[in-house]
Each structure stands twice: as structure tokens, then as C-alpha cells.
Amino acid sequence: MTRKGKRLTLIIGALAILGLAAGLVLFALRDNIVFFYTPSELAQKQIAPGARLRIGGLVKEGSVVKNGKDVTFAVTDKTRDLAIAFTGLLPDLFREGQGVVVDGVLGADGAFKADSVLAKHDERYMPKDVADRLKAQGVWQGEKK
């Protein structure tokens, strides 16, 4: 075998080993790559209590109950709901009908004990400064109500 052939064989072997390693890592992470589960996906997966998860969806209208720093609410994907309990300060953007991602542990009773809540603004959000500039240029008219 020539020197060039040996080098080519070494490169192909290294790429094969690297590809195998990447495949094994992706196989091991297959369910952990998901950023969050919706309540319907969580019901389908039947995940064991005590597992650390992220749940995403909309805060169900009329479900928020505040008692001091203790807050309970339901996250919905319009198909299923999941009860969430949280203790602490909620983000300013948290409100009913708004998208949230909660991080915590699923309890044995099916309730979710969250230790962090991330509120998402809607996709139509526009910072005031940018909106004002775009309105001045006549590019953006804002929402019609």
C-alpha cells in the first residue's frame, strides 16, 4: 500500500469512528434532546414520577390561584391540562393564556412541582423603541384592534 493509500485509510477509519461515536451519543440522548413536553406528550410517554422534566404550553384561563408566594395553575395544550404548583416569584410576563415553560419534577399524584417558570411573550411582540421607529417610517402599523 502506498503512503497516500495508508493516509486515506486512516482518514476513512477516523471518520467512521467519529460517526459511530456521534450515533451512540444521539441514541443515548434520544428523549433528552426535547426542549419540553406538552401535557399530551407527557400523558403518552407515561414518565415515572420523580423524573425531572420541562413542560410547555399555555396557562389555562381561570386556573391561576395565588396564595402568597404559592401559586397553582394549569398548563394546557388545548387537548390536555396539567396541574402545576410553584413557590416563588413569577416572571412579569406570566398571565393566563400566555405561553410558559416550567421546569420541575412530576409527582406521584400526577401534579407537577415546578422550581422555575419561564414566560414567553407572543410572537407579535415588538419592543416599544423599534415599534415607534417603524411607525415613524410608515413600515409597521401595529396591531389593528
Torsion of CA 49, 50, 56, 57, to 10 degrees: 40
User: CA geometry: angle at 48 spanning 46 and 54, to 5°?
Assistant: 80
Task: For residue 62, give the 3-state DSSP assignment.
Answer: coil
Annotated ligand binding at 25? The verdict is no
Give 45's DSSP letter. H
Annotated ligand binding at 125? The verdict is yes
And the C-alpha cell for 34?
426535547
Q: Contact at 8 Å (CB) between 104 and 113?
A: yes
- Residues linked to residue 87 through DSSP beta bridges, in sequence order: 70
* Binding region: 121, 125
* Binding region for heme: 121, 125
